[in-house]
Structure 1
Amino acid sequence: MRRSLMRLCKLPTAEELHLSTARTSKHPVIATYPTTSVTYTLILSLLQVFRYNWCSGIPALAVPPLEPLLVAAINIHSGAGPVVLSQNYRHIQLHGLASTILTTYKADLPHYRLITNSMTPKMEFIADYVMKGRILVLPIQGKGIANVTMVNLVVKHDLIGEPVVRNGQTYMHIREYKVKFLPKRVYLHFTNLFNGDKRLGDQMNLFLNENSELVFNELKESYEKSLSSVFKNVTNTIFDKVPMNKIFIED
Structure 2
Amino acid sequence: MRVKLVVLAIVFLQVLYAEELPSGFKRCSSKDTVCLKEAIEDALPKLADGIKELGVPPLEPIRVSKLTVGAGNIVKLVQNYEKIDITGLSQSKLSDLSFDLDKGKIAFSLKCPKVDFNGFYVVRGKILILDVFGKGKCNIRLDNLTGKVNMDVQKKEKNGMTYLKVTKFTLDAEPSNVHFQFDNLFDGNKQLGDNINNVLNDNWKEIYDELKYDYLNAIARYTMRLSNKLFEKIPMKFIFLDFPYDKFVHKMVWVKLCILTLSVLQVVSPDQLPPDFKRCSSKDTACLKEAINDSLPKLANGIKELGVPALDPIRVTNFSVKAGRAVQLTQNYENVEFSGLSDTKLSDFSMDLDKGKISIESYWPLTEFKGLYNLRGRLLLLEVYGKGPFSVKYEKIQGRINMDVEKYTKNGDTYLKVTKLTIDAEPQRVYFKFDNLFDGNKLLGDNINRVLNDNWKEIYDDVINDYLKAVSRYLMRLANKLFQKVPLKDIFLD
TM-score > 0.5 by shorter chain: yes
Q: CA deviation at 1:116?
A: 1.1
Q: Secondary structure at the match of 2:56?
A: coil
Q: CA deviation at 1:48?
A: 7.7
Taking the aligned partners of 1:189 and 1:108, their CA distance within structure 2 comes to 42
Kindly indicate whether residue 55 of structure 2 is the aligned counterpart of residue 69 of structure 1.
no
How many correspondences in the alignment? Answer: 219
Taking the aligned partners of 2:84 and 2:59, their CA distance within structure 1 comes to 13
Instruction: Using CA pairs under 8 Å that are at least 6 residues apart, name the structure with larger relative contact order, 1 or 2.
Output: 1
Taking the aligned partners of 1:62 and 1:117, their CA distance within structure 2 comes to 27
Contact 2:119-2:137 at 8 Å conserved across structures:
yes
Q: CA deviation at 1:31?
A: 9.0
Q: Secondary structure at the match of 2:133?
A: strand
Over the matched positions of the two proteins, sequence identity in percent amounts to 32
1:134-153 equivalences in 2 (<5 Å): 134-153=126-145
Taking the aligned partners of 1:69 and 1:87, their CA distance within structure 2 comes to 19
Taking the aligned partners of 1:62 and 1:126, their CA distance within structure 2 comes to 24
Letter in 2 for 1:83: V
Q: Which runs of 5+ in 1 are unaligned?
A: 1-10, 13-26, 35-39
Q: Secondary structure at the match of 1:209?
A: helix
**Match 1:121 to one of 88, 113, 118:** 113
Contact 2:30-2:99 at 8 Å conserved across structures:
no
Taking the aligned partners of 2:27 and 2:234, their CA distance within structure 1 comes to 18
**Match 1:173 to one of 165, 172, 191:** 165
Match of 2:53 in 1: 60
Match of 1:19 in 2: none
Q: CA deviation at 1:53?
A: 2.7
* Counterparts in 2 of 1:28 and 1:237: CA distance versus 1, 3 Å: closer
* Counterparts in 2 of 1:153 and 1:47: CA distance versus 1, 3 Å: closer
Match of 1:45 in 2: 39
Alpha-carbon deviations, 1:66-89, whole Å to 9, x = none?
22222222222233x222221111
Match of 1:245 in 2: 237
Q: CA deviation at 1:188?
A: 0.5
Match of 1:18 in 2: none
* Counterparts in 2 of 1:151 and 1:48: CA distance versus 1, 3 Å: closer
1:165-204 equivalences in 2 (<5 Å): 165-204=157-196
Contact 2:28-2:239 at 8 Å conserved across structures:
no
Taking the aligned partners of 1:110 and 1:68, their CA distance within structure 2 comes to 33
Q: CA deviation at 1:155?
A: 2.1
Taking the aligned partners of 2:81 and 2:139, their CA distance within structure 1 comes to 11
TM-score normalised to structure 2 length: 0.41
Q: CA deviation at 1:235?
A: 1.1
Match of 2:203 in 1: 211
**RMSD between aligned alpha carbons?**
2.7
Q: Secondary structure at the match of 1:110?
A: coil
Contact 1:160-1:175 at 8 Å conserved across structures:
yes
Letter in 2 for 1:140: V
Taking the aligned partners of 2:141 and 2:160, their CA distance within structure 1 comes to 45
Contact 1:78-1:222 at 8 Å conserved across structures:
no
Taking the aligned partners of 2:38 and 2:223, their CA distance within structure 1 comes to 20
Q: CA deviation at 1:120?
A: 0.9
Contact 1:130-1:144 at 8 Å conserved across structures:
yes
Match of 2:155 in 1: 163
Taking the aligned partners of 2:145 and 2:37, their CA distance within structure 1 comes to 25
Q: Which has the higher helix share?
A: 2
Q: CA deviation at 1:144?
A: 0.6
Greater gyration radius: 2
Letter in 2 for 1:69: I
